[in-house]
Amino acid sequence: MSEITTILTILLGWLLGLLTPGFAERIRRPYRRRDLIEAVIDEMLGLQFTMAMVAYMVRARRADVSTDFLDEILRIAEGYHGPDRNEDLIEAIKKIRGLSEEERAALHQAKHKPEVGMALRQYSVPLFATQVADLTICSRDFQRSVLHIRYHLELFNQIVPDLKSLFEKTYNNPNPQDRAALIANQEVGYRDAGKRAEIIMRAIGDLQKKCGPSKKMHPICELSLTSSG
């Protein structure tokens, strides 16, 4: 009998050793998921602030800055507390917000210089890029949301070198007709970049509302009950 007890004890110990890592992983996973989500969103908020500024600059260039749009930009700028926060910029936007839409349009039109290009840059989310493989511990809806943002950021980044090329061609002594065509295409490119920036900043805003710090976890942030592991 004692021999059987010894065998059962050894077997039980072996089984516990085999199963415990799986149980431990199940316990740790919710914490890892929460930490990952918060880290990704924190980086995305920096991108949102940048895209908001790009969107504003493009609209200002086109004299198409409505009061509703400025309110949207101000909410993002005032809610951002990262290293790129600029109090002077926020105050300047507030002053512009105080103008009527007609006064605002006249101000932007007076400053518009088609021959002067915009210094748009390509942007990245390096932390997110290194964590893509770990997104599998998050729900499919969360994965789709963040990958949707990355997709539009890639499209934005594809526009930037094309705009740079168009701008450089305006200095290659084109004839007046070609120069006008280059500038017109450049303005279309700026408009497209601005629209892409708005898509990104709004998509990040939606993600923050559902999964941001201090928010009650939205279903898209939770691992679905049918997911394996």
pLDDT in tens, 185-218: 999 999 999 999 999 999 999 998 888 665 555 5
Quote the pLDDT of residue 73: 95
Domain contains 9? no
Domain contains 61? yes
On whether the CB atoms of residues 209 and 48 are closer than 8 A, the answer is no
Alpha helices in the chain (DSSP H): 2-61, 67-79, 87-97, 101-111, 126-130, 140-169, 176-211
Question: Locate tokens 């691992």: which residue?
Answer: 223
CA distance 71 to 66: 9
Query: For the chain, what is the domain count?
Result: 1
Quote the pLDDT of residue 153: 97
Low-confidence ranges of the chain (pLDDT < 70): 1-31, 212-229
Domain contains 101? yes
Domain contains 202? yes
CA distance 50 to 149: 14
CA 181 from centroid of its chain's CA atoms: 32
This prediction has a pTM of: 0.80
Please tell me the number of Cα atoms within 13 Å of 49 on its side-chain side: 18
Residue 18: both structure tokens together: 């085999």
Quote the pLDDT of residue 80: 92
Domain housing 62: 33-110+124-221
Domain contains 181? yes
Query: Mean of the per-residue pLDDT values for the chain?
Result: 82
Domain contains 50? yes
Domain contains 169? yes
Domain contains 23? no
